[in-house]
């Protein structure tokens, strides 16, 4: 599974430009599902038919993970071929200086900044630029509107993994692994790999409307409270997949939250409860689709979120896969 995670995290796919990630995922799952389609928004939707089991009512379950990652887009080019840019999604200016970005054709640039007015001045994106090494505009192949993502290699440091774009390629990896495990389910299961989550949960809005699930679970990352002087939060690397109770955008459906907790207990999977004060996930959009959907979230604790070097614990990932397989293999208690 680590090879799968490396493939996904190192692929190019900022919001609105997820095609390379989508093509990779489709190639990995197409022979293991009953139907695969791409909707008008660009979401990849894979369906596995229900296998009836005596005494278990079949439900339509949607599992969602977003394919997009944060990035930047060229907004202006000056006479010396330095590129001004605008963020795609939640980009933190303090993490950018000296970072490398890669464009769709594989070319690389370095983020620099203007001379600060004061030595300790925090950088702002308006005073930054991308240097692609061009001598002048005549030698420049970039143009306004070109997207780029941050480029860092995947690193396996044993129990912990470091990469860019764990938000949310790790969720995609978990869903893919669940598909490859070929769990027999009495439910009709839709594995949905959504687009444009980082710019407003847009793919979740359209895909949930089309799938019309009875129950939905988003798989995404969450923050942690286990680094020095971190914002207090009862989530840590290595303590198991986190089951969301609340975030800034949603309250998890109580029955779905209890279903996740009870399944983790039944299977002996370590878990932790998550209350996130910042951010939200695709579950917010799915929960309010049509007449409403009972929705919850499985989260992977992640240090340094929305930077080019996010860190997760591999055991948490494995626990999330086991939890999903356990959910799909049994009846729903509500």
List active site positions: 197
- For residues 323 and 266, give the distance between their C-alpha atoms in angstroms, rounded to a whole number: 10
Give the residue ranges of DSSP H helices in the chain: 2-9, 19-29, 166-180, 202-211, 254-267, 282-287, 314-328
- For residues 110 and 297, give the distance between their C-alpha atoms in angstroms, rounded to a whole number: 36
Does a cis peptide bond (omega within 30 degrees of 0) precede residue 312?
Answer: no
Question: Which 8-state DSSP code applies to residue 232?
Answer: P
Q: Phi then psi for 187, rounded to 5 degrees?
A: -105, 155
- For residues 97 and 161, give the distance between their C-alpha atoms in angstroms, rounded to a whole number: 23
| Contact (CB, 8 A) for 105 and 20 | no
């Amino acid at each position: 599974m680590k090879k799968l995670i490396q493939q996904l995290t190192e692929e190019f796919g900022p919001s609105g430009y997820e095609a390379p990630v989508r093509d990779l995922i489709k190639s990995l799952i197409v022979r293991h599902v009953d139907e695969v389609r791409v909707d008008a928004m660009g979401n990849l939707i894979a369906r596995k038919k229900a296998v009836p089991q005596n005494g278990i009512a079949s439900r339509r379950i949607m599992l969602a993970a977003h394919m997009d990652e944060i990035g930047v887009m060229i907004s202006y080019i000056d006479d010396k071929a330095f590129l001004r840019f605008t963020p795609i999604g939640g980009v933190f200016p303090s993490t950018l200086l000296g970072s490398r970005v890669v464009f769709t054709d594989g070319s690389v640039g370095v983020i620099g900044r203007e001379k600060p007015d004061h030595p300790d001045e925090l950088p702002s994106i308006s005073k930054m630029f991308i240097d692609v090494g061009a001598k002048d505009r005549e030698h420049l192949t970039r143009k306004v509107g070109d997207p780029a993502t941050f480029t860092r290699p995947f690193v396996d440091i044993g129990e912990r993994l470091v990469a860019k774009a764990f938000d949310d390629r790790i969720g995609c990896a978990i869903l893919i692994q669940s598909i490859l495990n070929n769990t027999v389910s009495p439910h009709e299961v839709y594995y949905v790999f959504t687009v444009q989550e980082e710019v407003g949960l847009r793919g979740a809005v359209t895909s949930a409307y089309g799938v019309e699930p009875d129950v939905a679970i988003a798989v995404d990352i969450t923050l942690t409270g286990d680094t020095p002087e971190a914002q207090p939060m009862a989530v840590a690397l290595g303590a198991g997949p986190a089951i969301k109770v609340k975030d800034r955008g949603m309250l998890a459906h109580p029955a779905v939250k209890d279903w996740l907790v009870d399944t983790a207990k039944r299977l002996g999977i370590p878990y932790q409860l998550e209350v996130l004060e910042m951010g939200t996930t695709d579950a917010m959009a799915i929960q309010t689709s049509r007449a409403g959907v009972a929705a919850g979230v499985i989260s992977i604790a992640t240090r340094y979120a929305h930077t080019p070097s996010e860190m997760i614990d591999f055991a948490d990932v494995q626990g999330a896969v086991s939890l999903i397989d356990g959910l799909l293999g049994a009846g729903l208690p509500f």
